Amino acid sequence: MSALSNRINNLSESQTIKMAKLGRELAAKGVDIISLSFGEPDFHTPEHVKDAAKKAMDDNFTYYTPVAGYPDLRKAIVKKLKDENGLDYDASQIVVSTGAKQAIANAVLCLVNPGEEVIIPTPYWVSYSEVVKLAEGKSVFIDTTVESNFKITPEQLEAAITPKTKLFMFSSPCNPTGSVYSKEELAGLAEVFERNPHVYILSDEIYEHINFIGGHESIAQFAAIKDRVVIINGFSKAYAMTGWRIGYTASNSEIAAACDKMQGQITSGTCSITQRAGTAAYDGGLESVHHMRDEFKKRRGIVYDLLKEIDGLKVNLPDGAFYFFPNVTAFFGKSFGDRKINNADDLSLYLLEEGHVATVGGDSFGDPKSIRLSYAAAEDKLVEAMKRIKAALGKLQ
């Protein structure tokens, strides 16, 4: 019998992290793996951000920080929310965390009681359903398909809400589909929330700058519901700062105080040096961010053209983030040698072992019909990866 708690026994391992690990292990054995599994920009952190971190160390920013973050960083975040998103927050409503991942965990653990329902459109980012489990809440899924560009309608949202609903969680631009909700689409959802004042909204906006169709729209712009929106954002994607571990929530004051209290008992304030780097990132303008976005857009075009040529894959053109989420059901039931593909996770493993390309099966994103490919990799690697995927899929009969 396991000595471990039901809490951890019931928790699924993060598949994004698992597939990245499997890919690294094979690469360490000398296999030439192309990793399209991990959602992480392949760019370096901008120089001015790294310089600020070096200076922070020399200036002895090496002590415990305020749990919710240094005041000047919280002010820089407030300014960013005003300038880039047109949203008004006070610095006391910002809680800086060890990555957007912790910001999400803080918010869910602070809002959701055991048994309360959390509505999550599928496909969703892998950690959403798991953090709801940690809070002992109940995930209620709204399924979407590639045909509707993986977006939900106000009618679907309304039908999923019950008196037990506490929270709605989504990302736009979306990981894993790259879908982006327009202002009009968000307005439709906001109207439903206006009629349902018991529902809070967790709006994960970490990919806001990787948007190929225009400016970012936040659901917090709708005044009637703003007080119930918790914005999640961070520096990992926009500033290529995945290893620095910094993200934040912007919310009403009650939720902000709760997240501060929660974090004060679990991790305390995020790394002092990272926080100084974060302030420099926001103070330094958007030039590097726009450069990365333009590169991602170019790669999206290259990968899309190659994916469309592969028989059996059903794929849409995503409007943001850096993922494709092709439907792979055409390969279910097919085999190569003694290897049979029963589901998307089997296919992802097959592509790793036979094609030497790491992807992530859709099951952990709540969509067992698809696989996720990240195109945050160099162009020549992407072209080679598509060649390998085409060849490996072509062998399945």
User: What residues make contact with ligand GLU under the rule CB under 6 A?
Assistant: 14, 16-17, 38-40, 101, 175
What are the residues facing 97 on neighbouring strands? 247
Nearer to ligand GLU, 101 or 228 (CB): 101
Radius of gyration of the chain (CA): 21
Binding mask 247-286 for ligand PMP (x = CB under 6 A): x---------------------------------------
| Subset of residues 116 to 145 that bind ligand PMP, contact rule: CB under 6 A | 125
The entry of ligand PMP, ligand GLU, none that residue 15 binds, CB within 5 to 8 Å by partner kind = none
Number of alpha helices (DSSP H) and beta strands (DSSP E) in the chain: 13, 14
Site for ligand PMP (CB under 6 A): which residue of 76, 96, 100, 160?
100
Nearer to ligand GLU, 226 or 318 (CB): 318
The entry of ligand GLU, ligand PMP, none that residue 166 binds, CB within 5 to 8 Å by partner kind = none
Cα separation of 318 and 299, whole Å? 12
Examine residue 205 and tell whether it contacts ligand PMP (CB under 6 A).
no
Four-residue CA torsion sign, 261, 262, 267, 271: negative
What are the residues facing 167 on neighbouring strands? 118, 200
Nearer to ligand PMP, 218 or 350 (CB): 218
Examine residue 319 and tell whether it contacts ligand PMP (CB under 6 A).
no
Can you spell out the DSSP letters for 273-320? HHHHHHHHHHHT-SHHHHHHHHHHHHHHHHHHHHHHTSTT-B----SB
Shortest separation between residue 330's beta carbon and ligand PMP, angstroms:
27
Examine residue 204 and tell whether it contacts ligand PMP (CB under 6 A).
yes
Nearer to ligand PMP, 293 or 356 (CB): 293
Minimal CB distance residue for ligand GLU: 39
Query: Is the separation of the CB atoms in 279 and 73 below 8 Å?
Result: yes
Lookup result for tokens 């500033």: 239
Q: Which of helix, strand or coil describes residue 147?
A: helix
Shortest separation between residue 365's beta carbon and ligand GLU, angstroms:
9
The entry of ligand GLU, ligand PMP, none that residue 354 binds, CB within 5 to 8 Å by partner kind = none
The entry of ligand PMP, ligand GLU, none that residue 38 binds, CB within 5 to 8 Å by partner kind = ligand GLU
Nearer to ligand PMP, 23 or 355 (CB): 23
The token pair at 293 is 């976005």
Stretch that binds ligand PMP, among 27-35, 95-103, 209-217, 350-358 (CB under 6 A): 95-103
Residue type, 319: D
Contacts of 299 (CB under 8 A, 6+ apart): 322, 375, 377, 379, 382
The entry of ligand GLU, ligand PMP, none that residue 100 binds, CB within 5 to 8 Å by partner kind = ligand PMP
Query: Is the separation of the CB atoms in 206 and 235 below 8 Å?
Result: no
Contacts of 16 (CB under 8 A, 6+ apart): 37, 38, 39, 126, 360, 364
The entry of ligand PMP, ligand GLU, none that residue 247 binds, CB within 5 to 8 Å by partner kind = ligand PMP
Minimal CB distance residue for ligand PMP: 99
Examine residue 242 and tell whether it contacts ligand PMP (CB under 6 A).
yes
> Number of C-alpha atoms within 13 angstroms, CB side, residue 280?
19
- Strands 229-234, 165-171: pairing is unpaired
Cα separation of 68 and 65, whole Å? 8
Q: Which of helix, strand or coil describes residue 337?
A: coil
How deeply is 395 buried, as exposed, middle or buried, from its count of CB atoms within 10 A (0-12, 13-18, 19+)?
Answer: middle
Examine residue 99 and tell whether it contacts ligand PMP (CB under 6 A).
yes
Examine residue 175 and tell whether it contacts ligand PMP (CB under 6 A).
yes
Shortest separation between residue 16's beta carbon and ligand GLU, angstroms:
4
The entry of ligand PMP, ligand GLU, none that residue 269 binds, CB within 5 to 8 Å by partner kind = none
The token pair at 311 is 């028989």
Nearer to ligand GLU, 16 or 327 (CB): 16
Examine residue 355 and tell whether it contacts ligand PMP (CB under 6 A).
no
Examine residue 366 and tell whether it contacts ligand PMP (CB under 6 A).
no
Examine residue 171 and tell whether it contacts ligand PMP (CB under 6 A).
yes
| Chain contacts with ligand PMP (rule: CB under 6 A) | 39, 99-101, 125, 171, 175, 204, 206, 234, 236, 242, 247
